[in-house]
A and B are shown apart, each in its own frame.
Chain A
């Protein structure tokens, strides 16, 4: 009886299935590899997923409100390139970084304006913006990587003890947005809007502001992630983040965010990103071809959504 109650309680936790999947993965991989279940390896995984996870927060917010952002990768690249370019011009690197994040906000606002105010389908707007922003990166950098070695780079390459600073930043943002979505009035409204925008309007929610807000937050997070990424590599490259948009959609999906909007959690998204990261890590440790990695990640995405679908019935 008691055990049943506990299982019942666990099932009420929305992130239960993605966390369970992660635990099972860890158990299996621990048997297959000696190196897998070590602190150092987990730190590595977290560091590798930090950029994806930060951008995935924004993606999840957008998907929760019923939209999508396919330009996240280019916004990320633009953030890095802009910060590096401005710093190279002699502007204080911290101010340059701040300006780059502000640029991200502007990009988000622009997408929001086109997709929400002017009602052009978000899928198309962000697809178009992806090309535009990528082009802007090349225009700014003239197609060459810009070195990024200044005091801001510590965000991407610094460490506190053995843990990279980027991991702390990621965890902080995850907790912050988890609390924001679940425990604030505005956060709740994100879910209401995504569940049914007309009902939300009738309930006095300013749907436009919420949906545009999600894009602005995404712009800021993506640009910031771009700075971390550039700091990590000591260089800002226009080609970075080519698969990021889809990776963040995948992380959100695996983490239990409903593609039709209105449901999901930020902690779930972290686990979604970590599961993908762990897969990549495992394939390296086990010396399996990287091609199989791609296949396996695809299978997981479909499984994640499929299992939730059957559970809902």
Chain B
């Protein structure tokens, strides 16, 4: 019944002696959602590159619809109807939605000019299918929100009449609401007989949508399983090769026994940029305060304004009994408030600089001998943090852009943790965005250990399970307003989602 679309047979690949893929055999079928899971570096992207002919495998064969093809030839996969939906950035900002969608196959009329009418019509149809009927195909891509862009990326692949669509972390930059839309879209694709390869770190999504799940670890295929025979704990254990599930359980049980009373930060009527609405809240000593909400609820903007990264008005902010006056992040760091942005690449790392320089940038003043920086002091400080946070890198002179997301995030945490006096309040915006399960658990442990040292954490996250695992209480935002507060004992996905989508609002 299910027709074979793409088959890999005994694919192996070594890079100068290092095995990236070992004897992988997999079959992808039409009308089937095949999830591919594994930690970063497990070989998922190498495998995709082999499928698309960008990498020549050392051994093995590839069949499209039962016919063997020449491996290692770019373009072959596309010719056979296999398309990849990119995580981000394949859209051209200054062009319209429809021009982007038909970029590789612009429609021409009989005079050789662009047939805008036809493209407009077809774009409408595709958008309709994707539940985006009210988006104007002529709208410039630069004016779309991040989730809308993601959906346009999908539209772009669908316009090509695919037989097999590969989605690599499609939900990385979209929120729960759009995830639901995406799930419906995938089901529609399935009905039309299109196969889907779904690569994701988010296991709940995998369980929701996948028919079969293949697990990769260290370049080998651990196995392919039907969804029925799998549960989260077992899947995680297969992915990381050890019992991580129970470690997570432990974290859960540690949370929220002690009462946290002392208020360290009280914010009154802070105008959230873009929305211009006033927001008031308190942060207590040693607590993990979650901020939930849909993408675009104004959570990042709120805290970027609080630390002085964005301009805003605030009626009053009291921090440890003193009025908090902040013009730039330099002021807030001096006051003992640190923030890690959700956008590591844009507002976090110095991509071309070394791991060591990235760790030390805030703490440079303490690494001097007299007036001048001491190289030994710099190296030691970086080494110490590298060991403490288990930062995996070849050496500390490596450029940070060569590190995995999880290790980059640890470097960014190290910046604040290496300070002589570490911040009393750390704001972590999507700290596990695009990070694999193993590194995630490490970051959770770091957060927990900070709280034990009396640091207060504000955790902004779009992953509810993460918030419910770690937080003492959760504030929920909707369009620049705090709509509700949920205590740990009341935690529940539905309640939080009601606040987040403004079905329920405690503030009117």
Contact = CB atoms under 8 A, between A and B. Distances in A.
Interface of A: 179, 182-185, 188-189, 191-192, 195-196, 198-206, 258, 262-263
B330 A196 contact: no
Nearest to B331: A204
B126 interface: no
B259 interface: no
Interface string B342-353: 000011111111
25 contacts: A183-B372, A183-B373, A185-B368, A188-B357, A191-B350, A191-B353, A191-B357, A192-B361, A196-B351, A198-B346, A198-B347, A199-B348, A199-B350, A200-B361, A202-B309, A202-B339, A202-B340, A202-B341, A202-B347, A203-B333, A204-B328, A204-B333, A204-B334, A262-B350, A262-B352
B362 interface: yes
Contacts of A203: 329, 333, 361-362, 415
A172 B253 CA distance: 64
A202 B368 CA distance: 22
A204 B330 contact: yes
B376 interface: no
Contacts of A205: 330, 361
B365 interface: yes
B300 to A, nearest CB: 12
Contacts of A189: 361, 364
B352 A206 contact: no
A144 to B, nearest CB: 46
B381 to A, nearest CB: 13
B375 to A, nearest CB: 9
Given A183-B372, A201-B328, A188 B350 contact: no
Which of A184, A196, A203, A205 has the most B CB atoms < 10 Å from its CB?
A203
Nearest to A206: B330
A250 B201 CA distance: 47
Contacts of A179: 372
Which of A184, A185, A204, A206 has the most B CB atoms < 10 Å from its CB?
A204
A179 B351 CA distance: 24
B341 to A, nearest CB: 6
Interface string B317-334: 000000000001110111
Interface in B137-158: none
Contacts of B353: 191-192, 195, 262
Interface residues of B, number: 28
Given A183-B373, A184-B371, A185-B373, A206 B350 contact: no
Contacts of B350: 191-192, 195-196, 199-200, 262
Contacts of A202: 309, 329, 339-341, 347-348
Given A184-B373, A204-B329, A204-B334, A199 B362 contact: no
Interface in B360-405: 361-362, 364-365, 368, 371-373
Contacts, number: 74
Which of A188, A189, A206 has the most B CB atoms < 10 Å from its CB?
A188
A192 to B, nearest CB: 6
Nearest to B307: A202
A203 B416 CA distance: 9
Interface of B is mostly: mixed
Which of B341, B362, B364 has the most A CB atoms < 10 Å from its CB?
B364
Contacts of B373: 182-185, 188
Contacts of B361: 188-189, 192, 200, 203, 205
A203 B338 CA distance: 8
Contacts of B340: 202
A178 to B, nearest CB: 12
Contacts of A198: 346-347
Contacts of B328: 201, 204, 206
Nearest to B415: A203
Interface string B68-85: 000000000000000000
Nearest to B361: A203
A194 to B, nearest CB: 9
A206 B362 CA distance: 12
A277 to B, nearest CB: 29
Contacts of B334: 204
A22 to B, nearest CB: 25
A263 B372 contact: no
Contacts of B371: 184
A309 B309 CA distance: 34
A185 B329 contact: no
Given A184-B373, A202-B341, A206-B328, 19 more contacts: A182-B373, A183-B373, A184-B371, A188-B357, A192-B361, A195-B350, A195-B353, A199-B346, A199-B348, A199-B349, A201-B309, A201-B347, A202-B329, A202-B339, A202-B348, A204-B362, A258-B352, A262-B353, A263-B352
Nearest to A205: B330
Interface string B409-434: 00000010000000000000000000
A253 to B, nearest CB: 16
Nearest to B364: A185
Contacts of B368: 185
- The 7 A-B pairs at the shortest CB distance, nearest first, are namely A204-B333, A183-B372, A195-B350, A204-B330, A198-B347, A185-B364, A203-B361
Contacts of A206: 328, 330
Contacts of B333: 203-204
A310 B307 CA distance: 41
Interface string B249-279: 0000000000000000000000000000000
Which of A196, A202, A206 has the most B CB atoms < 10 Å from its CB?
A202
A184 B339 contact: no
A201 B351 contact: no
